[in-house]
Amino acid sequence: MAKMNFGGVEENVIIREEFPLEKAREVLKDETIAVLGYGVQGPGQSMNLRDNGFNVIVGQRQGKTYDKAVADGWIPGETLFSVEEAAERATIVMCLLSDAAVMSVWPTIKPYLTAGKALYFSHGFAITWNDRTGVVPPADIDVIMVAPKGSGTSLRTMFLEGRGLNSSYAIYQDYTGRAFERTIALGIGIGSGYLFETTFQREATSDLTGERGSLMGAIQGLLLAQYEVLRENGHTPSEAFNETVEELTQSLMPLFAQKGMDWMYANCSTTAQRGALDWMGPFHDAIKPVVEKLYASVKCGNEAQISIDSNSQPDYRDKLNEELRAMRESEMWQTAVTVRKLRPENN
């Protein structure tokens, strides 16, 4: 385990050089890994493990998602089973179902979590708030987590490109004494770039904060607010979208992703630099109280309960699709459709 300096703070990280794929294969050579769920994370993690030479099977109920697994090369009766049979066959059960699905199938899969097995998550939600979810694991198994910092699609795409998506890892329960090596081997096997240490509680809290904040909720709110102000002051949809979204995603994000915000600033005009430096303070001061309120709501379990209550409704999928449809059909994101078609690579 390496000590790495992050902005003056030392953290424990695992890099591929110290825990290579060959070592991961050796650690898990006698394990049968069952990936339960073939939704967001399931395809990427299971196919990466398969391609890396691990003994992996998939557990998925019949339906469109099951058909997708078949299309991806999982063979019914050989490498593709029901959730229950996959859990029974496995020594490591990778629970990659949605938070709502985990709660509903937990009574079904718990009997198959027999002594010495490992229960793996990629999100700390079910365990962190198990007083609300009911997911209380048996005492005689390992309970571990590897959480890729991105979607399963990104994990798979980067794997195929020979790159890795960074992941956090945590150990909630070490019954066998092998929880650490099992965890890291799985992290390397699914294609992590490097792994950094966390806890189930920290991962769940930071993840819910990030999704509601800068990764999704806040970014949509900020983009929409600026787009609306430009439109209300006579700017065309094309101009408003380009100045709000297109330049950000196509030009500036790659710059600060590569070398940092200061480097991106240095590669913009002096007018842009001065304005950005002057206005970042007022934006910070306006937004930080909202983030503090958000974090408090996550930490106390309120956001988890809202999610549980919403996702437990019989019509939750219809309501969700309606909200997403409204976003998709808004002027800003309909403008995006046209702008994307006009990009040089599409002409």
Residues β-bridged to residue 194: 15
Q: What is residue 96's predicted lDDT score, i.e. its pLDDT?
A: 96
pLDDT exceeds 90 at position 12: no
Q: What is residue 9's predicted lDDT score, i.e. its pLDDT?
A: 85
CATH architecture observed for domain 2-198: 3-Layer(aba) Sandwich (3.40)
Where do the structural domains in the chain lie, given as residue ranges? Answer: 2-198, 210-346
Please state the rounded mean pLDDT for residues 285-304.
Answer: 97
The amino acid sitting at 273 is Q
Identify whether 235 is a catalytic site residue. no
| Bridging pattern class, strands 192-197 and 9-15 | antiparallel
The amino acid sitting at 208 is L
pLDDT exceeds 80 at position 347: no
The amino acid sitting at 35 is V
Is the pTM here over 0.85, yes or no?
Answer: yes
* 119 contacts 137 by C-beta, under 8 angstroms: yes
Q: Which homologous superfamily does the CATH classification assign to the domain defined by 210-346?
A: N-(1-d-carboxylethyl)-l-norvaline Dehydrogenase; domain 2 (1.10.1040.10)
Q: Which residue has the tokens 């940092």?
A: 260
Which residues, 6+ apart, have CB-to-CB distance to 174 below 8 Å? Answer: 142, 180
- Range with lowest mean pLDDT among 21-35, 106-120, 278-292, 302-316: 302-316
Backbone dihedral angles phi then psi of residue 82, each to the nearest 5 degrees: -65, 165
CA–CA–CA angle 154, 123, 18 (5° rounding): 65
Q: Which of 117, 123, 156, 182 is catalytic?
A: 123
Report how far residue 134's alpha carbon sits from residue 144's, in angstroms, rounded to the nearest whole number: 17
* 36 contacts 94 by C-beta, under 8 angstroms: yes
